[in-house]
Structure 1
């Protein structure tokens, strides 16, 4: 099926998903684009995923606050206007800075991020996460978490 043009207005997109304390709004799932995905990600100070990798590219554009983003052996403090690209298979992580932050993220074709975020929202209740279940959902959605690193809010 050929992708169709579409617009997503603030009053028309779905609710923000709760992904271990981070609020993630799916703006464009791969079912609509027939390829990439786009998300609005918002987090409180200290929130963010542990080091992980997956088989799709991921890019981040910071719109508010500071976000420490790590990949390979470096960590940068990204401020509004910063763009970071992480190729598929690259171990990476991020942590929202003082006062929290916001960013737009985009995944490449073949990504399963919207599936991952939806499943976590549905299966992992707020509060301290069930780490074993969280790691199982991540694995089922093509995400590998670095050994010894547990997800946290």
Structure 2
């Protein structure tokens, strides 16, 4: 199937998914692009995933606020204008800084992130989340919790 032109405006964004406290809007899914995926993420202070890996590359561009990201044994603070690329298979995590963060995330052609985020939004409703359920969902879509 040939990919079609995709034009998304704030008025046509799909509903933001609740991914364990973060709001993630799928701007472009693998199904829509036949390749990469693009997400708009808003994380309140202190939110973010624990150490994990997945089968796809992931890049982040910080629009507003800050995020502490850990990868390859290094922890860095990314502020507005920062770009971070994390290759597939790299153990990484992040914590949203004071006043939260707004960022774009872009994943590579092997990404199952949109499916992963949608499943978490649909299946994990309690806080704190059921970790065994998160692990099961991650396994389904090529992501693994833990270092």
Counterpart in the other structure of 1:50: 50
> How big is the shift at 1:12?
0.5
Instruction: Establish whether residue 7 from structure 1 lines up as the match of residue 7 from structure 2.
Output: yes
Give CA deviations for 1:55-86 in whole Å, capped at 9, x if unaligned. 11000000010100110010110000000000
Counterpart in the other structure of 2:143: 143
Q: Distance in 1 between matches of 2:80 and 2:72?
A: 22
Instruction: Establish whether residue 117 from structure 1 lines up as the match of residue 101 from structure 2.
Output: no
The alignment's C-alpha RMSD in Å is 0.8
1:126–1:15 Cα change, 3 Å:
farther
Report the secondary structure of 2:135's partner residue: helix
Structure 1 segments, 4+ long, off by >6 Å, are: none
Counterpart in the other structure of 1:128: 128
Number of matched pairs: 147
Q: Distance in 2 between matches of 1:144 and 1:119?
A: 15
Q: Which runs of 5+ in 2 are unaligned?
A: none
Report the secondary structure of 2:12's partner residue: coil
Report the secondary structure of 1:11's partner residue: helix
The alignment's TM-score, normalised by the length of structure 2, stands at: 0.97
Q: Distance in 2 between matches of 1:140 and 1:4?
A: 28
Counterpart in the other structure of 1:92: 92
Q: Which runs of 5+ in 1 are unaligned?
A: 148-153
> How big is the shift at 1:109?
0.3
Instruction: Establish whether residue 19 from structure 1 lines up as the match of residue 19 from structure 2.
Output: yes
